[in-house]
Homo-oligomer: A and B are copies of this chain.
Amino acid sequence: MAMQFLSDNAAAVHPAIWRAMQAADAPDAPYDNDALSAGLDAAFADLFGRDCAVLWVATGTAANCLALATLVPPHGGVVCHREAHIETDECGAPGFYTHGAKLLLADGEGAKLDPAGVAAVLDAIRGDIHQVQAHALSVTQASEYGRCYTPAEMAALAGFAQERGLRLHVDGARFGNAVAHLGCTAWEACAGADVLSFGCVKNGGLGAEALVFFDPALADLARVRRKRAGHLQSKGRFLAAQILAMLEGGLWLENARAANAAAREIAAAAGERLLHPVEANEIFLKVAAPEREALRAQGFSFYDWGPDAARLVTAWNSDPAHVATLARAIRAL
């Protein structure tokens, strides 16, 4: 049987999530009119220390795209990193949800952006009617290469976005891993955002992500668009239950810390092979094809990342024995 480092999407559902879902299996109002859904705003307000309006959705793509659709008109643009998930892995979903708004691609090390990188995109746009104007900025915390924005970096970006009149979206598919790494508050890790996609599925959830609006006025539009996109599940209480269980007692952070620790253990073994500093739960390794073959022969599953590299991902429940075995195997390459 494979030792699984393919994806945190493939990991098991946390027992507390199962318990919460089963506890939700009592009659209540359909859609998001149930008591659990009604409790989301308060739960996130506690977490972030400010007013929130929160919607559940089934996937990160839906969360990201509903967020963008509330921030950007069809004729507008969203600045994001060239390797952002919304650009590379959502099959054009942002174009669908925004009715054709444009992703304006910026560069930055480790799939992270900074004000200079964003400015390079913005400053190349003429302010006339022939060019698509930027309306929002979207960044990923932790980034597609598992890199985290420090509170200072996030504040700089948020300040810059505000200065340039851009709304700010944070894709937090691995937000827990970022906060676990940074050791800051949840708010500090996304301070200044208008809306955050707060990931649960990669962190021990089953099928629920939280879309957190720090500007609650935006949430009403997102609610209509969620319904219109077929994402208003009639038994929504089961999604709310997952999210609340994730927040309960800090499970989201606990799970993320476990995944990060496993990643650090592997990283420590990888030395010079690391293509990116390991800050969250992803490890990008320089490994030649025969080396990858050797690892797979030992039972490890993972993705190739181009011709000479591999991506390994740990999860909340990565087996310590598997992790240790993998670390040894990498050292032994």
Contact = CB atoms under 8 A, between A and B. Distances in A.
A102 B90 CA distance: 12
A120 interface: no
Interface stretch (A46-54, A177-185, A227-235): A227-235
B92 A101 contact: yes
A11 B96 CA distance: 33
A27 B2 contact: yes
Interface in A197-238: 201-202, 206-207, 221, 223-225, 227-235, 238
Copies in the complex: 4
B13 A25 contact: yes
A65 interface: yes
A102 B103 CA distance: 9
A132 B221 CA distance: 13
A75 B27 contact: no
B58 A227 contact: no
A129 B96 contact: no
* Chain A: interface size category: 35 or more
A326 to B, nearest CB: 15
With a 10 A CB-CB cut-off, give which of A10, A18, A202 has the most chain B CB atoms. A10
Contacts of A95: 74, 95, 99-102
Contact of A91 (B26, B75, B97, B238): B75
Interface in A83-134: 88-93, 95-102, 129-132
Given A59-B233, A65-B230, A229-B93, A18 B10 contact: no
A4 B27 contact: yes
A235 B93 contact: no
A73 to B, nearest CB: 8
B130 A89 contact: yes
Interface of A: 2, 4, 6-7, 9-13, 18, 21-22, 25-31, 57-66, 73-75, 77, 88-93, 95-102, 129-132, 201-202, 206-207, 221, 223-225, 227-235, 238-239
15 contacts: A7-B234, A9-B235, A18-B22, A59-B231, A59-B234, A89-B131, A90-B230, A92-B100, A92-B132, A95-B100, A95-B102, A98-B100, A99-B99, A207-B235, A231-B231
Given A96-B99, A229-B229, 16 more contacts: A9-B31, A11-B27, A12-B26, A18-B22, A58-B58, A59-B230, A61-B230, A63-B230, A64-B230, A66-B230, A75-B92, A75-B96, A90-B130, A96-B228, A96-B229, A201-B235
